[in-house]
Amino acid sequence: MNGPDITGASRRPGRLRIAVVGAGRVGAVLAAALRQAGHDVVAATGVSDASVSRIEAMLPGVAIVPPDEAVKAAELVLLTVPDDAIAPVAAGLAKVGAWRPGQLVVHTAGRHGIAVLTEAAGHSIVPLAIHPAMTFSGTSLDLARLTDAVFAVTAPPGMLPIAQALVVEMGGEPVVIEEWDRPVYHAALVHGANHVVTAVTQASAMLARIGIEDPSRVLAPLTHASVDGALRDAPGAVASLTGPVVRGDAGTVASHLEALADQPEALFAYRAMARATADLALRGGRIGPAVYADLIATLGEP
């Protein structure tokens, strides 16, 4: 095979040979960050034009090889494939004998712990789950954003310092998440980030429908203030609640439901979030039981 050496013959002492299987936005950036920390990225896998271009841009000089060759060349493997592909890819590599005893294998899925690796790749590897709590563009801009980013780490007993050290080398802050808590951790991130985008998108569409040309100018001050306040007051954030629910304005809520009657997706989301807001306001003492009951009756079935 022509191309860069992937044997590690010339690597520096104390550094790991790293391969990235699945050079998507996350894998390429994390591999580049570890390379900056002095480790040797010796191989990467990429099939699509986008993946190949990303490897060439983020990991210049790194050999592009099939997954089994990449794994066999490395001491640490970044298995940065989609969540549902982790187990099948790991199992496939085990079937062809690619894994080696004691090899470090890192996946970056938020919802999975280490069981997904040990069940698929076998118990001879050292599985590490390291999830960066940030979005990725797959460009060099992400390298700076890794600094002080929080990474959720899960590892076998005795191996946690390795996972934490890798995060620190990338500039991040490791936070330990137990195996059984990974789904809740990931659900929290999705609910607090992705669902906010959904809510803002729906709200923007409502404003656009009534002729507001730039909904972001209307929503931006409110949205930024609300999110900043909620983060400041977390986890309770009751003090940050505003709007008709915490005021007990059931009539206003009823008018909203009527106005959204021809927008079923937005209506469903509004009703569900208003109920959740009412629950939060009741628990936090912002409204009493009578007002809560009135609001819930107004909201009706979700």
> Which tokens hold the place of 283?
């628990």
Q: Where are the beta strands (DSSP E) in 80-137?
A: 104-107, 126-132
pLDDT in tens, 174-193: 999 999 999 999 999 999 99
Q: What is the pLDDT of residues 157-170, one digit of tens each?
A: 999 999 999 999 99
DSSP assignment string, 133-195: SS---SSTHHHHHTTT-EEEEE--TTTHHHHHHHHHHTT-EEEE--GGGHHHHHHHHIIIIIH
- 248 and 213, same structural domain? yes
Rounded CA gap, 117 and 86, in Å?
7
Rounded to two decimals, the pTM is 0.85
The span from the CA of 288 to the CA of 260, in Å, is: 27
Is 116 a member of any domain? yes
Whether the predicted pLDDT of 271 surpasses 70: yes
| Number of domains the chain contains | 2
Cβ proximity of 206 and 263 under 8 Å: yes
137 and 237 share one domain? no
Please give the average per-residue pLDDT across 104-122, as a whole number: 95
255 in any annotated domain: yes
Q: What angle do CA 265, 237, 197 make, to 5 degrees?
A: 30
- Judged by average pLDDT, the poorest of 214-218, 233-237, 283-287, 292-296 is 233-237
pLDDT tens for 4-62 read 444 444 445 458 999 999 999 999 999 999 999 999 999 999 888 999 999 999 999 99
Same domain, 192 and 167: no
The CA distance from 68 to 66, in Å, is: 6
Domain of 41, in residue numbers: 17-177
The per-residue pLDDT for 9 is 42
Residues 113-141: what's their mean pLDDT? 94
- Distance in angstroms (rounded) separating the CA atoms of residues 253 and 127: 50
142 and 214: one domain?
A: no
pLDDT on residue 82: 93
Residue 118 has pLDDT above 80, yes or no: yes
Contact 151, 171 (CB under 8 A): no
Domain at 126, CATH number: 3.40.50.720
Shared domain for 161 and 54, answered yes or no, is yes
197 is a domain residue: yes
